[in-house]
Each structure stands twice: as structure tokens, then as C-alpha cells.
Amino acid sequence: MEEERITRMPMIGDTAPSFRSITTKGKINFPDDYKGKWVVFFSHPADFTPVCTTEFIAFAKRNDEFKALNTELLGLSIDSLHSHLAWVKNIENIDWKGEGKVSIPFPIVADISMNVAKMYGMLQTVAKTQTIRAVFIIDPESIVRTILYYPMSTGRNIDEIIRIIKALQKHDKDNVSTPVDWTPGDDVLMGSPLTLEEASDRIKGKDDLIPYEWYLTAIKDSSDTDFNSNTDYKESDGEILMEDNTDFKESDGEIWMEDNTGKKIAYIEFPEFEPGKVEVTHTVVDESLRGQGIAGKLTKQMAQKLIKEGKKAELTCSYSVKWFAAHKEFGEALIEPEKEYEKAMNMPDMACGVPKHGKDKA
């Protein structure tokens, strides 16, 4: 009797096993093609199955959120390329929960040989020819950072996958740990002290430290993934740098930021088209400021202003639409929140629709 070859599945801290494959988006060389990006590599039991279909729709609707985290999605099952393509086309006809139809923007690996599934430990005792719902979160250096396994009957939680990526990125950026139920903006944790002196200092507490015990110390997290409310900018040798404690400039229908010469470097407009109703027409950020979160901070500042003044917004700028969909606690600033959240699923990045109401409407 021929012995079955045993391959050790990758573990947290391992380099992601490499493979070449065809996908619904063409050939890939993994993980080399994804260097510099985070990857969510996930398997599903089979094409044309109910739970998998709902997961793919959910992943597709959140694809822009993953991209904003420098993260790519990559699916896999033990099906042929033609089966994948037929299934993807079929999914485009499904309006799951009445939230709108989607297309699948990420590649799906065709693994009819099961080689990749075996390499990643995606085949387990429940079935010999169907992968369980595995999730591998792989960092920009191709290191496996998280492994999740779900049974075939249970759909994944996309919010939790996104939360894990944000927590890992927070750890890498600030060398801190994240406590139970952490979400961005919550307090984070310091590592355990290594000396008696350090332990004594922890108990005393100071500045932004919160000592619960000598080994359990939290740090107030003043950062915001969409920007600190007291952030300002200065210019140095042509580069714009972040500083603290400068206010935004405001008028009735606009909020903006200036550099130290008085030049407007970012703004968001929201003129009234009816009493108490505004239309968010555009957000502009100087190209050198891309990726620093200014657009998000301007949108947040605007939302707070509208809520304070009892006004409601209609959105055309895609960034603002998607910002509100990700920050539903500010939904009272919107005329029809649910319609705006639905729009967020379908609007292309950084594309603004034609305003429905002119600025000069009487």
C-alpha cells in the first residue's frame, strides 16, 4: 500500500509556501507577485455552494476596504478554472439581501490537482476533496501572520478579518499589542516589564499610561486611522509634514486646511441646496498628501459640524460615501443613510458623481 505523503502545513511566522497557478485573473506566482502587500488567502469548499456564494459577495463588497489597508484578496477551491469563471459570472446576477449586485474583483486559484490545498493544510478529515474555510493573513514580507479555520457550515466574519489586519498593522507600526475586542482608536497594551524597576514605574503610571497591574499597562491611543483631530501641517524643503494643534478653516459650506503660506492644500465643500440640506460635492487633497488620512479627517470634521447644526447631507464624492459607510456612528448627518451605504458598495474609488443640485440654486 502506497503511503500518503504528509506535508506540514504552514504555521504563524513561516514564510508563505510558494506556488504558481492559473486564476480567474490570469497566472500568478505566489507570494512573489504580492510582495509589499498584505494578502488574505482564503479557501472555500466548492463553487456553486450557498455559504461560499454569500462569502464571495461579502468579500467583493468590502474589497475597497481591504485595498485601503494595502491588502489583496485571493481565493481558492478544488475546482477548475472554467467552473470558477462560470460561478463568478453567475454571482453577478445575485442581489443578496437586496443590497445590490456585485462583480468579483479578486482572483480565484484553480487547484484541481489539490497541490496548493495540501500545501496549506486546507484539506482536513471532514472531506478529502473539498477544502475547509481556511484564512491565511500574510504580511508584505510574505510571512504568515494569522491562520483561521472555519467549518464548512459556518460563513466567515469579514469584520473580524479586517479587524485582525488593522491590529497587526497597528502592532507593526507602534510595537504595541491590542487587547480583547480591540478596534482602531481603542487603548492598546504595552509588553510586560522586564525588570523590577520597570515594573515599579508601571504601577505609578504617567502621561498616557493606564496601570491596571504591574504586568498590565494600557496606553491611551490618541491616533486615528482617519486622522487626529488636532493635526496640522507645515512645509519643509517642499515636503508637507504633520504637526499638532492647528484648527481647520471653516465657512458655511466648506472646511479646508492651509499650509504656512496660506495656500489651501485640502478642502471639502457642502453647500446647501435646500434649507437644512447640503450636498457634498468634492474633496480635494494635494497629491503630496495622499495616504495621510486628510480626506477622512475633513469628512469627519464636516459630519460633526452638520450634526451640531442639525443639517443633513447628500453625498456625491465617493470618498465621503465610503467614509460614512465605514463610520455609521455619524449616520445622523445623512439624509438617507441606508441609500448612502448602498452607494458605497458600487462607487469607484475617488470618482465623484455629477451634483444633483447646483450650488447657486435659489
Residue numbers annotated as active site: 52
The CA distance from 253 to 280, in Å, is 9
Which one, of 63, 57, 78, lies nearest residue 120 by Cα? 78
Which one, of 109, 104, 160, lies nearest residue 137 by Cα? 160
- SS3 (DSSP) at 229: coil
Grid cell 490545498 — which residue? 117
Pairing of strands 71-77, 108-110: parallel
The CA distance from 190 to 331, in Å, is 34
DSSP calls for 88-129 = HHHHTT--GGGS------S-EEE-TT-HHHHHTT---TT-SS
The CA distance from 289 to 300, in Å, is 17
Q: Are 162 and 59 in contact (CB under 8 A)?
A: no
Sign of CA dihedral 192, 197, 198, 203: positive
Q: Are 75 and 25 in contact (CB under 8 A)?
A: no
The CA distance from 237 to 345, in Å, is 40
